[in-house]
Amino acid sequence: MTSQPSILIIYTGGTIGMMVDSATGVLHPFDFGDLYERIPEIRKIKCKIDNISFDPIIDSSDMDPEIWAHLASLIQENYDNYDGFVILHGSDTMAYTASALSFMLENLSKPVILTGSQLPIGTIRTDGKENLITAIEIAATKKNGCALVPEVCIYFEYQLYRGNRTHKYNAEHFDAFRSSNYPILAKAGVEIKYNHSIIRKATNKNLTVFTKMNTNIASLRLFPGIQQNYVSAVLNTDGLKGLVIETFGSGNAMTKEWFIRKLGKAVKKGVIIFNVSQCRGGSVNMGQYEASMGLKEIGILSGYDITYEAAMTKMMYLFGREYSSEQIKKYLQTPLRGEMTA
C-alpha cells in the first residue's frame, strides 16, 4: 500500500487568504491551521497537507526578487519531504512570480501550483475554495509514481496554465488569466482532463535552485509620438544591462533615424535588447516587415512568442547567472522552461 501524497501550502498573501470578521466586517488573514475546519471538502483529497504562512503577509504588488528567492529556497528546503507545493498568491503579479520560479527551479520534478482568488475565501461567492481545492488535487496527482504535472503552473477558474506562458488579463472576472500562445495544461470539470502531450516531463536530474536575480534591466513600451528624451532617459539608465522593448504587432517599431541610432548605440555599449510584442497573442518576426528590419540589423533579439512577464524575469535570471553576453543572447532566444516557441 502506497503512502498518501503530501502537499505543502505556502501562503504569501493575497485575496484568497482573507476572511471577513463576522462582527466588524473587516478582512483579516485566514488561519491555514484551521484549513480542514474551514474547508472540510479538502478531507476528501487523500493527501497530507501542511502549511507555511508568510509573516507578515505580502500584497502581490510588493512582490520582488528577494521574495521569489525566499519562495524558491522554501521549496528547496522542503523538496524531499513533499510531493507537491501550492503557493497562494495575489493575482496581480502571479504571472511574474510563476515565470520567475520556473527559471529559478531547474530540473523540477514536482508540481508547484500557484493560485489565488478574486474574492476572499471567507465570502459567500468566493472562487477561492474551488481554486484551492483543485490546486491541491493537481499537486497531489501522480501517474506511475511520478507527478503528473512536474512544472510551475497557475491554476485559476477551472484552468491549469503553464506559469511562464500566462498573463493576467481581467481584474473583475473569475477567469482572470490567459495563456494566449500556449494551450492550457488541464481543464477541471466533472473530471480534471489533462493535456498530457504538452506537459513538461520530469528529469532524473536533481533539483538545482538559483536565487540570484539581477534587476539592472528596464522596459520600453513604444507608442505613436514617443519622444527622443524619453527613449534617451530609459537607455541612459545607470547600470542598465538589458532592455525589453515592447513593439507593435509582429515586432515592428518606428523607422525614424534617431530612434534606430539611439538603440544601435545602446547595443554597441553592451545593452542587450529583447524584442517582445505588445500583442498578447502571436509572435515577433523581425524582418517580416520593413518596420522591424532596422531593429534586426542593429542586433536586437527576437522574443518570439514570450510573454512580457516571462521576458522580464528571464532577463533577471540570466543576468543573475553572470553568463557572458554571448551566452545571455543565446539563452534569451532558447526555450529553457517551455516559456517560448523559437
Closest CA to 174 of 155, 192, 152: 155
Pairing of strands 112-115, 84-88: parallel
Rounded Cα gap, residues 172 and 158, in angstroms = 16
- State the DSSP code for 3: P
Taking a C-beta distance cutoff of 8 angstroms, is the pair 16, 120 a contact?
A: yes
Pairing of strands 242-247, 272-277: parallel
Taking a C-beta distance cutoff of 8 angstroms, is the pair 290, 255 a contact?
A: yes
Q: Residue 60: left (phi > 0), alpha (psi -120 to 50), or beta? A: alpha
Rounded Cα gap, residues 52 and 71, in angstroms = 11
Provide the β-strand partners of residue 154.
Answer: 114, 161
Crossing angle of helices 94-104 and 308-320, in 10° steps, is 40
Cell of 154: 497557475
Q: Which residues contact 190 (CB under 8 A, 6 or more apart)?
A: none
Is 126 part of the annotated catalytic residue set?
Answer: no
Closest CA to 34 of 16, 20, 51, 48: 51
Rounded Cα gap, residues 327 and 336, in angstroms = 13
Q: Which of 2, 12, 15, 313 is catalytic?
A: 15
Task: Give the amino acid at 142.
Answer: K
Residues classed as catalytic = 15
